[in-house]
């Protein structure tokens, strides 16, 4: 029996997925959570074989939770289930070394097969998205530039970002200017929009 943890913040979707997966003869949903901060404690408590994680969750996002599981509870494999079907999002997931990546609009039997594949150690990735990622643009930003832009996207101003990263305000402004130029954006807000649309944030 494959023990499954499901993390999905939309209650109706979560309830439907739990009901559908529980119909599979070889699966049991041992936990379902709506908040990313609850994922890792639930993994430790329930010891699932596979954690099926949405990316966009309140609290800790699904990719960060997957990285935490990989580092601290590697016996649980991770499968990202998301509506964010962008090449950049898949690249971020692969960087986080998730075991699988499947889109929410996939048929339920594909999700069940993906869970089975991940549970036995296979890496399962939506084929169309894999092709798009292969052909898609690489992110032109460095990890530090992405970190600065992510904090700016969360609403932090240059002084707050500088304080958080232990850098000068001038350095942060230089990073933001470089990011805007690299993304050929009109301004910081446009840079955030471009990076999100590409799946880099």
Q: What is the pLDDT of residues 55-100, one digit of tens each?
A: 888 999 898 999 999 999 999 999 988 776 666 667 777 777 889 9
pLDDT band at 122 (very low <50, low <70, confident <90, very high): very high
Residues forming a β-bridge with 31: 5
pLDDT band at 137 (very low <50, low <70, confident <90, very high): low
Closest CA relative to residue 69, chosen from 53, 89, 85: 53
Mean pLDDT of the chain: 88
Question: pLDDT of 138-173, one tens digit each?
Answer: 678 888 998 999 999 999 999 999 999 999 999 999
pLDDT of residue 103: 83
Query: Longest Cα pair distance anywhere in the chain, in angstroms?
Result: 59
Tell me the percentage of the chain whose pLDDT exceeds 70.
Answer: 91
Question: pLDDT of 40-54, one tens digit each?
Answer: 999 999 999 999 999
Residue 82 contacts residue 194 (beta carbons within 8 Å)? no
User: Cα–chain-centroid distance for residue 80?
Assistant: 7
């Amino acid at each position: 029996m494959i023990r499954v943890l499901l993390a999905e913040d939309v209650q109706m979707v979560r309830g439907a997925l739990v009901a559908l997966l529980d119909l599979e003869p070889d699966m049991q949903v041992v936990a379902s959570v709506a908040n990313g901060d609850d994922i890792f404690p639930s993994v430790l408590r329930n010891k699932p074989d596979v954690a099926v994680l949405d990316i966009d969750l309140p609290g800790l996002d699904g990719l960060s939770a997957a990285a935490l599981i990989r580092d601290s509870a590697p016996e649980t494999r991770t499968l990202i289930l998301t509506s964010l079907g962008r090449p950049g999002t898949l690249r971020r997931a692969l960087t986080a070394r998730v075991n699988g990546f499947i889109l929410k609009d996939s048929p339920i039997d594909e999700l069940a097969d993906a869970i089975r594949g991940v549970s036995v150690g296979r890496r399962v990735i939506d084929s169309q998205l894999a092709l798009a990622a292969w052909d898609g643009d690489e992110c032109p930003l460095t990890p530090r530039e992405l970190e600065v832009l992510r904090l700016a996207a969360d609403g932090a101003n240059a002084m707050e970002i500088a304080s958080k990263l232990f850098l000068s305000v001038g350095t942060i402004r230089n990073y933001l200017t470089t990011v805007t130029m690299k993304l050929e954006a009109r301004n910081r807000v446009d840079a955030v929009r471009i990076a999100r649309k590409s799946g880099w944030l």
